[in-house]
Amino acid sequence: MPKIIKGLNKKQLAFFASVHYSTTAVAAKTFNPKITPQNYNIAYPRKERTTIGAITIVSDIMKDEIKKTTLVKLYASGASGKKLCIETDDKIDATLSKAAFLSNKVFDMSANPTFRYIQRWNEALPEFNTGHFHRLHAFMSDEIESENDNITFAGDYIGGPFIEGAFTSGVNAALRLNQRLHLQ
């Protein structure tokens, strides 16, 4: 937020500086397998896998019976994400593919992909660590937003680290702004 809005006050700067994010890297690859697998998602508990956090397998035969492309996405765990983000695309791909091969035999990752895309998420999800609810309470009690400003804040770091949290905080920010504009 401080990168987008200039002139934030001390309390606002302290609040935004307190928001920390997890980091992950995602390898997305498409294949044309002989036998099209069913759509499949696996999420690994932190204690079970240290390198890979999740795998999603999606085949598009629902849309196009002829194409038979399968999209496999490999998500680095929180622990490995930070280290992998500074590596090359090839290293990220190789590390996650090896971990995926070791952790499940659902899909043969040794085949040649038809396409590959590597995405680094340096600020993936806000971490609601110790004290974050306390800071959110300060945010909600008008200590962060000033009633005289025509700016309201929204995002998953306020509402919860998922789409619904981001969406809900956006709706609430719009309601607060509407209320302030009507008071002026």
Ligand X SMILES: Cc1cc2nc3c(=O)[nH]c(=O)nc-3n(C[C@H](O)[C@H](O)[C@H](O)COP(=O)(O)OP(=O)(O)OC[C@H]3O[C@@H](n4cnc5c(N)ncnc54)[C@H](O)[C@@H]3O)c2cc1C
Q: Report 10-29 residues binding ligand X (CB under 6 A).
A: 24, 26
- Neighbour-count burial of 72, counting CB atoms closer than 10 A to its CB (0-12 exposed, 13-18 middle, 19+ buried): buried
Q: Token pair for residue 157?
A: 């770091």
Counting contacts by CB under 6 A, is residue 163 touching ligand X?
yes
Counting contacts by CB under 6 A, is residue 1 touching ligand X?
no
Counting contacts by CB under 6 A, is residue 53 touching ligand X?
no
User: What's the min distance (Å) between Cβ of 132 and ligand X?
Assistant: 15
Number of residues that bind ligand X (CB under 6 A): 13
Q: Give the contact letters, 165-184, x = binds to ligand X (CB under 6 A), - = no.
A: -x------------------
Which of 86, 113, 89, 109 minimizes the C-alpha distance to 99? 109
d(CA 59, CA 174): 38
Q: Token pair for residue 122?
A: 């340096």
Counting contacts by CB under 6 A, is residue 161 touching ligand X?
yes
Q: Which one among 82, 107, 155, 172 touches ligand X, defined by CB under 6 A? A: 155
With respect to ligand X, which residue has the nearer C-beta, 55 or 124? 124
**What does the DSSP assignment read for 50-104?**
SSEEEEEEEEGGGT-TTT--EEEEEEE-HHHHHHHTTS-HHHHHHHHHHHHHHH-
d(CA 88, CA 72): 19
Q: Report 103-142 residues binding ligand X (CB under 6 A).
A: 121, 124-125
User: What's the min distance (Å) between Cβ of 165 and ligand X?
Assistant: 6
Which of 118, 103, 108, 106 minimizes the C-alpha distance to 29? 118
Q: Which stretch binds ligand X (CB under 6 A): 43-51, 81-89, 138-146, 158-166?
A: 158-166
With respect to ligand X, which residue has the nearer C-beta, 36 or 168? 168
With respect to ligand X, which residue has the nearer C-beta, 107 or 167? 167
